[in-house]
Structure 1
Amino acid sequence: MDNKAWALCFLDEGVALSVISRKETRCQWLQDEEHAYECLLNDYVHYVAELGELDSEQTAAAKERFALLMEQYPEPEALTEYINDLTVGLTRILWFGPLSALAEDYSDFPLALRAYYWQEYGEGDEDPVTPVIEDDWIYLVESMEDFLLQDDY
C-alpha cells in the first residue's frame, strides 16, 4: 500500500439506519492528500446533498461552506469535526486522513481499528495499540471493511 494513501470513511446516520436497521459505512481509499481533499469537496458534498435532498442552489452553498472549512481548518481532525457538525443526522465522517495515521496515531478511531486488526491478524501477544509496520498496511486496509461492520465507533 502506498504510504501517501489517504482514506475517507463515513457512516450513514439517517435513512439507511431507519430503513434497513443496520450501519451503512463506506471507506474510500485515495492516492494522496490532494485527491482526498478534492474528493471531500466534490464527491462527499454531492453525497451529503443527495442524502439531504438539497437542490442545486443549496448544494452550491454547501460546497462553498465545505471549501471555507477546508481553508480555515486544514488539519483533518478539526476539519472532520466541523463537517460532522454540518451533516448531523445524514452522515458522519469516521476517518479522514492518511493511512500512516491509521497505522500509528493514538486517537480513538486508529486505536480501535488497530485493536481489531491485532485481534484478527495478530499472534495473540501484541498490545492492541501497537503501530502497524508499513509492510503490513495492506492487511490493515483489508481489515477495515470487517471492522466497520462489526465495531462501534
Structure 2
Amino acid sequence: MDDQLWALCFLDEGIALSIISRKETRCQWLAGEDQAREFILTDYLQHVAELGELDPDQHIAARERFELLMEQFPDPQVLTEYLNDLTTGLTRIVWFGPLAALAEDYSDFALALRAHYWDEYGEGDEDPVTPVPEVDWPYLVEAMDDFLLNEDY
C-alpha cells in the first residue's frame, strides 16, 4: 500500500444530521499531503460552503481563512482543531493525516480505529493499541468505512 496515502474523514453535524437522523460520515483517501491539503481548500471547503449556505464573498473569505490556517499550523492535528472551530455546527473533521499515523499514532481517533481493526481482523490476542504492520494497511483502510458508521468517536 502507498505509504504516502492521506485521509480526510469528517462527520456532518447540525442541520445535516437532523435531516437525515443518522451519522453522515465521509472519508476521502488522497495520494499525499499536497493533494490532501488541496482537497481541503476545494472540495471540503465547497461542502462547508453548501452546508453553511455561504454566498460567493463568504466562500472567498472562508478560503482565505483556511489558507492562512494551513500556513500557520502545518501540523495536521493542530490544523484540524482550528478548522473544526470554523465549521462548528456544520461538519467536523475527525481525522486529517497520513495513513502511517493512523496505523501507529496514539491520538484518540487512531487508537479507536485500531481497536476496531484488531477486533475485526485480529486473532483475538492483540492489544488494541498495537500498531498495524504496513503489510496490513489495506485492511486498515477497508475497516475505516465500517468504523465510521458504527463506532462512537
Q: How does 1:1-150 map to 2 (within 5 A)?
A: 1-150=1-150
Q: Contact 2:95 / 2:109 at 8 angstroms: preserved in 1? A: yes
Secondary structure of the residue aligned to 2:68 is helix
The whole-number CA distance in structure 1 between the counterparts of 2:111 and 2:28 is: 19
Percent of residue pairs bearing the same amino acid type:
74
Runs of 5+ in structure 1 lacking a partner?
Answer: none
Secondary structure of the residue aligned to 2:109 is helix
The whole-number CA distance in structure 1 between the counterparts of 2:65 and 2:33 is: 20
Please tell me the root mean square deviation across aligned C-alpha atoms, in Å.
0.6
Secondary structure of the residue aligned to 2:46 is helix
Q: TM-score, normalised by structure 1?
A: 0.99
Runs of 4+ in 1 over 3 A off after TM superposition: none
Which digits, 9 at most, give the CA deviation of each residue in 1:49-86, with x for residues without a partner? 01000011100000000000000000000000000000
Write the letter of the residue equivalent to 2:151: D
Secondary structure of the residue aligned to 2:131 is coil
Q: Contact 1:14 / 1:90 at 8 angstroms: preserved in 2? A: yes
Q: Contact 1:16 / 1:23 at 8 angstroms: preserved in 2? A: no
- Give how far 1:16 is off: 2.6
Q: Number of aligned pairs?
A: 153
